[in-house]
Amino acid sequence: MSYAYVVGHITVKNPEMWSEYRSKVPGTLDPWGGELVFRGKQVAALSGENSHPDIVVIRFPDVAAVNGWFASSAYQSLVPLRQQAAEMVLLSYES
């Protein structure tokens, strides 16, 4: 079975706002079958350079679910908060 993933590379600018954003995202995932795989902080760059020290990986049943989640009014209402709280690159992958 294949899955789709959202990978976020993150640099937090405002920890309080970031905490608020993080607390609200899980509720936006449920309708789309999204599941947090992990969050982490970079320990070392073993090869190359990475400008964002934090990462998040979210698994979805398929690409359509990723697109539905990202375009949903529930998630889009959080985007302004995310933009104030952190610099983030969000990428979508399929396995």
Give the residues across from 86 on adjacent strands.
Answer: 12
The CATH number of whichever domain residue 79 belongs to comes to 3.30.70.100
Residue 38 has pLDDT above 90, yes or no: yes
Number of domains in the chain: 1
Residue 88 has pLDDT above 80, yes or no: yes
The whole-chain average pLDDT of the chain stands at 97
Residue 1 has pLDDT above 80, yes or no: no
Residue 12 has pLDDT above 90, yes or no: yes
Cα separation of 2 and 71, whole Å?
A: 21
What is the domain extent for residue 30? 4-94
Its pTM stands at 0.92
